[in-house]
Amino acid sequence: MAGARTAAATASAGSPASSGNPPPQEPGLGELLEEFSRTQYRAKDGSGTGGSKVERIEKRCLELFGRDYCFSVIPNTNGDICGHYPRHIVFLEYESSEKEKDTFESTVQVSKLQDLIHRSKMARCRGRFVCPVILFKGKHICRSATLAGWGELYGRSGYNYFFSGGADDAWADVEDVTEEDCALRSGDTHLFDKVRGYDIKLLRYLSVKYICDLMVENKKVKFGMNVTSSEKVDKAQRYADFTLLSIPYPGCEFFKEYKDRDYMAEGLIFNWKQDYVDAPLSIPDFLTHSLNIDWSQYQCWDLVQQTQNYLKLLLSLVNSDDDSGLLVHCISGWDRTPLFISLLRLSLWADGLIHTSLKPAEILYLTVAYDWFLFGHMLVDRLSKGEEIFFFCFNFLKHITSEEFSALKTQRRKSLPARDGGFTLEDICMLRRKDRGSTTSLGSDFSLVMENSPGATGSFTYEAVELVPAGAPTQAAWRKSHSSSPQSVLWNRPQPSEDRLPSHQGLVEARSSSSSSSNHSDNFFRMGSSPLEVPKPRLAALSDRETRLQEVRSAFLAAYSSTVGLRAVAPSPSGAIGGLLEQFARGVGLRGISSNAL
């Protein structure tokens, strides 16, 4: 079956009306989050317990895709292709508007695509093959797991016994391995050449040129054995024709520290000295100069800066003048991968470049449902361990509202008229936490440290006040170099002393010239330190991008609060976390929150 083509004309056009406060909610978003926090999605379980809910989620995703795209559906009934990919895998062919249809027309035959998928699925961990999920300017942005190693290819069922448990590197269940797979694994001595050859054919068929690897390891090692591999260490150099980018990013375990620091990403730096971390940042030289980022400092970046800079890099790749697609993957492809796929989707949407007819609540639903839930993110397991990468993703939208993250080629609003008095809009309010381990900042005093006033004194909390950005110039558009033999820039700097923290004396030092927006990108005035508090709009005029991303974030916080809720850090010295949801409820007018959400 080649797939059922679905045109935008057949999609439902209904959408909730916007309202001021609380944020407008997508019908079914609460049900989606409740189901998501109850169980991991498995394609083979779609008709079982909770099947009707899952079917509604799947149907709604198809409706939302159909608003703006003509697409085909690749059937994955009962997880025949991959047990934790959607049962209805959407292949976007072209935008449904007449203008875009004439500009970009799909050259992919769905029947051939399906054949390549079936043949290549064994090449990657858990069978999570290269899957296109975003269509931008005729380019496919894809996701997958990393390459499978010998262990998985020849003994997946045995490894399942040792590596089960829901971690990022856990393995699929025994029943995911078919008899055909076992026969192929045991009988073909050239298995790597065959399956990786089909993987490469699939990448080329989707016109993918850039492969971004988020692993902090070259190979995943468990009990002294390599259990996965990656393109960057393929001994046969099969992937040499692709542009490989090693951009190591902390795994989901690191987000336990994010939660333990009261959901504070500023100043949270990954420990690059750990023994298993052996993949340095490596980016082809022709890609490193246009973004005005000091990549050699990547081991000194906090979680905000690192996420911002990697997102800028990904946006520059998809916004280049060529027609090359992009693949993003980590190990299993269901934690770090959906984080960056979601940020890409929401950032391009905020610029009005994709999903142009969807409202904030609708794009939020699509991103949560398709990018996270239907692609198998284990929210239940992550919440039980405090690894809240899912919450981080949508709360992080406040850090990418500025124009430097825009994919629009034209220069947009740069600044506003200067204010009366001694301050200009180029004065940036840099905020910090007085005590990062404390939850007592709900009533903290604060003062403003201005860029031209290094001697200003006082204490304040980043979460207590967030101000409008100073109108930094729009980041120059990425321009592709025509180097035929690009050199790679490889950095593996020594880690500073572990107890060394970024300086916060006087003017808070800019951690990177390209990531200053981490301190001033939330264009709302907020009192209190609750991560779930819905921001209150300021009087200052916001750009369309800022407004749209803030509406998405506010809608997420409202829905997350009333369904999942924050998990309290135990013990909580001040008890402040226990009152976060109540504070949020008062802010949006909810009647109350069930205590078992904490």
Q: How far is the C-alpha of 501 from the C-alpha of 18, rounded, in Å? A: 43
Q: How far is the C-alpha of 230 from the C-alpha of 310, rounded, in Å? A: 19
Give the CB-side neighbour count of residue 376, counting CA atoms within 13 A: 28
The H or E element that residue 191 is part of is helix 191-205
Residues with catalytic function: 330
Residue 489 has phi, psi (to 5 degrees) of -90, 120
Residue 329 has phi, psi (to 5 degrees) of -150, 155
Task: Find the length of the chain.
Answer: 598
Q: Which residues contact 461 (CB under 8 A, 6 or more apart)?
A: 431, 432, 433, 434, 441, 444, 446, 529
Q: How far is the C-alpha of 339 from the C-alpha of 354, rounded, in Å? A: 18
Say how far residue 417 (Cα) sits from the centre of its chain: 35
Cβ(315)–Cβ(347) under 8 Å? yes
How is residue 255 written in tokens? 């987000």
CB atoms < 10 A from the CB of 482, how many?
A: 6
**Burial status of residue 580 (CB atoms within 10 A of its CB: 0-12, 13-18, 19 or more):** buried
Cis peptide before 571 (omega within 30 of 0): yes
CB atoms < 10 A from the CB of 522, how many?
A: 25
